[in-house]
Amino acid sequence: MSFSAQVPAQPSMRQLKRILPILVGNPALHARFINTLARMEYVGVRKMLKARHVDRLDLEGLQHIVEEASHALRLKRAAKKIGGEREKDGIATFSSAHTLGGPEAERYLQEVDHACEELVRFYGFPEAERREANYLLSSLIIEIRAQAFYPLYEQNLQAANAPFSVRAILKDEVKHLQEMEHQSQQIFGSTWRTLVEDALRVEAKFFEDWVAQLSQQIKVPELSAQG
């Protein structure tokens, strides 16, 4: 998919390339960072539970919810493994103190969700269809990001011989992306490409903000525009 191919070259992804080795190399920070990822997966589940109407929810939709919940659980367990006995109490919940930029990560998801909601309205979707349309668009956009993020994170985990892997999560996300792509093309028809491009443009900005906040928290200067 051409959209996924554009994302790794973004400045935010280059900045992530710089900060991930620092995070992975520091167990206390890393445990909180994994817990942040778990929180994001959990927020994704909460959004789906709220957004999906029973009239639309099929086996595939139910499986999507369960798989995202299992990602949250896997990551939470990985956070505990990395943090060990010392960090056990420091990552117990998804609170600000127990995560690394947890509220900012959640804000990123909320911003993407709201922007997609606005776009769906702007593109003239009838009100009765908007909630489902927003679910498909925002999930597609976030799956495209996941497809750039998880392989980069996996490379870092392997380079550091980390005792866990996100390969199984990535495999699910690849499948979700295909499903969201297919279903959103059906619902958006001829407006699909421009709508997705518009949504990706705003998402890139929100993601960049999150990476910038993460960089500040671990005190890594941001890349210059030329960087």
Residues within the interface to Fe ion (CB under 5 A): 41, 68, 71, 173, 176
- Which of 30, 176 has the CB closer to Fe ion? 176
Smallest distance, Fe ion to C-beta of residue 202, A: 20
Smallest distance, Fe ion to C-beta of residue 64, A: 7
- Check if the beta carbon of residue 136 is closer than 8 Å to that of residue 180: yes
Considering only the C-alpha atoms of the chain, give the largest distance between any 2 of them, rounded to a whole number of Å: 54
- Which of 159, 168 has the CB closer to Fe ion? 168
Number of Cβ within a 10 Å radius of residue 16: 22
For the record, the structure tokens of 185 come out as 């093309």
Q: Which residue is nearest to Fe ion (CB)?
A: 176
- Which of 125, 150 has the CB closer to Fe ion? 150
- Which of 109, 120 has the CB closer to Fe ion? 109
Smallest distance, Fe ion to C-beta of residue 137, A: 14
- Which of 68, 87 has the CB closer to Fe ion? 68
DSSP string computed for 17-63? HHHHHHHHT-HHHHHHHHHHHHHHHHHHHHHHHHH--TTT--HHHHH
- Which of 6, 70 has the CB closer to Fe ion? 70
Angle in degrees, CA 110, 31, 143, rounded to 5: 35
User: What Rg value do the Cα atoms of the chain yield, rounded?
Assistant: 17
Cα dihedral sign for 201, 205, 206, 212?
positive
DSSP string computed for 124-177? T--HHHHHHHHHHHHHHHHHHHHHHHHHHHHHHHHHTT-S---HHHHHHHHHHH
Smallest distance, Fe ion to C-beta of residue 127, A: 27
Smallest distance, Fe ion to C-beta of residue 180, A: 8
Smallest distance, Fe ion to C-beta of residue 76, A: 13
